[in-house]
Each structure stands twice: as C-alpha cells, then as structure tokens.
Structure 1
Amino acid sequence: MSAAPAPHPNPSLGSNAMAFPAPRITLPLGMSVLQTYSGAFICLEILFGGLVWILVASSNVPVPLMQGWVMFVSVVMFLCSTLYLCVYLCGLADRVDTDWNLIDFVYHFVAFVFYFGASVLEAATTAAAAVEPDRVNATTAAVVTLLDFRQYSINVVATIFSFVVTLCYACSLGLALRRWKL
C-alpha cells in the first residue's frame, strides 16, 4: 500500500503556483499611475515622441537613409509607450504574473538606446544641411543634405524634441532601475 501524497500547504494555489513568482508591481494601477513621476514621464514620452514623429514626417523625410530610422523609432516607441500606459491604466498588469519592474527597466533601456541613436541621426541630418555642396570634397564631409529653409527649420525643432524625448526615457530608465532594485 502506498502512502498518500502530502497535501499542498495552500490548496487554493494548486501545484503550479510554486513554479512562478508573484507579480512585482510597484506602480499603482488605474488613473493613479498618472500621479507618479513614472506616469508623468510616460505621458511626456508619448506627447513629445508623437511630436517628433509629426515633425519628421512634415519635413517630407528628405534624407530617408538617416531619417527612416528616426521615423521608425518615433512611431514604434510612441505605440509601445501608449500600449504600456494603457496596461497600467486598465489594470492589466495585475492579471499577468511577471516582474513588471524588470519589464519596465528593459523597455526603457531599449527605448533610451534606440531614441539616443535616432536623436544623433536627426542631429547629423540637420547639421549636414549647413554644409555647402560646392565646398565639399572627400575629406570634409561624407553626407550632404539639401534642405530648404522650411525643412531645415522643421528638422531643427525635431532634433530638439528628439533629445527631449531621449531625456524623458533616461529619467524613466533611472526610475525603473530604482524600482527594479528595491
């Protein structure tokens, strides 16, 4: 005769509950997430990221090789930040058993790296417009962009806001690191 298996310490959890850690969420759910610094930074990321997207698109993307990456990053990060904020606003983070603090950190790290690269490319595109094509030789410049004054002005503003969004992602990354390492 075999012995009966020992009962689970908490029968309501079931046998699989021991395999997965409890979710770690330090940000509040619902509308109260907007009252935190992280929620405010996510809103700023969405606002300024959408502005970068609109500004680069309104300049007719005169240098698609460099500004294509800027458009890709600004559109994808705009959508991801919007989705990320909706997860907290709708309370869905409470239903998924995962370490949301780690996800927050990884997301903002990737977003910061991508946006920093996009900001540098946007600044390079704008700075290359100041190079006069008749004075260019192989030793002075590798990239020349022909922008009219309207496109140049829009790209200057897009560059500024791109670095502002990068700063917002850096602040969110710092806050996420602090929450993750609590």
Structure 2
Amino acid sequence: MFVSVTAFFFSLAFLGLFLSGMVTQIETNWNFLDFAYHFVVFVFYFGASLLEAAATALHDLHCNVSRTEQPLLNEHQYSINVAATIFAFMTTACYGCSLGLALRRWRP
C-alpha cells in the first residue's frame, strides 16, 4: 500500500508541474527525471509484488492457535491475496514498459 500511495502522489506532483507550465521555468533534464522516477517505482513495485507472492505462497502453512492447527490464510484471504498478487505483477509490468519508453526518450 505504501508503494502505490507514494507513486500516486509523486505522479500527481509530476502532472501538476507539467500542467502548470513550471517545466519550462525549471532548468533540468526532464527525460532523465522521468526515467529515474519510473526506475525507482518499478523496483519498489517489483519488491512489493514479490513479497505479496511470498505471502500468498504461505497459504498451506499451518500454525498452532490454542492447540488447534489452522491454516495461516483462510480461503477468502487467500483469494484476496491471489488477486493482489496478480494486480501487483500487472502494475509492475506496466511500470516496466513505461521504464523502457522513458529510457528510449532519455537515450536517443
């Protein structure tokens, strides 16, 4: 959740800079900043998706709760984790494509 909320706020900040016209007033390499932003977000999303997949893979792990063995995740929690894992990897792939396009813009 931290990764997606942080990426959302930084995306809004970039959008605000472009819509307000501040881009023409600030002397910097915007193509490099775009590439660096997408690289950082891609790495964070990739790590988050791996952690989500690892948490989902622990579905069959049993833990002793008051002398009864119960699965770590019930079926409903498991279904939610599977969906979260799929969407996390889809978002990672989208940011990976965006990273590739940013690299093309930065390096002609």
Give the equivalent residue in structure 1 for 2:13: 83
Choose the corresponding residue for 1:146, options 66, 72, 85: 72
1:159 equivalent in alignment to 2:85 = yes
Structure 2 CA distance for aligned equivalents of residues 150 and 82 of structure 1: 34
Q: Give the letter aligned to residue 104 of structure 1.
A: D
Q: Which structure is larger by alpha-carbon Rg, 1 or 2? A: 1
- Cα displacement (A) at 1:82: 2.4
Give the equivalent residue in structure 2 for 1:125: 55
Secondary structure (helix, strand or coil) at the match of 1:98 reads coil
Provide Cα deviations, 1:102-125, integer angstroms capped at 9, x if missing partner.
000111111111110110000100
Provide Cα deviations, 1:115-137, integer angstroms capped at 9, x if missing partner.
10110000100111133447xxx
Unaligned runs of 5+ in 1: 1-70, 135-144
* CA spacing shift, 1:103–1:146, aligned 2, 3 Å: same
- Cα displacement (A) at 1:164: 0.8
Provide Cα deviations, 1:55-95, integer angstroms capped at 9, x if missing partner.
xxxxxxxxxxxxxxxx2212211221222233223332222
1:106 equivalent in alignment to 2:106 = no
- Cα displacement (A) at 1:150: 1.9
The 5 A counterparts of 1:58-97 are 71-97=1-27
Give the equivalent residue in structure 2 for 1:174: 100
Higher strand proportion: 2
Unaligned runs of 5+ in 2: 65-70
Task: Report sequence identity in percent.
Answer: 58
Q: Give the letter aligned to residue 95 of structure 1.
A: Q
1:116 equivalent in alignment to 2:46 = yes
TM-score, structure 2 normalization = 0.83
Give the equivalent residue in structure 2 for 1:63: none
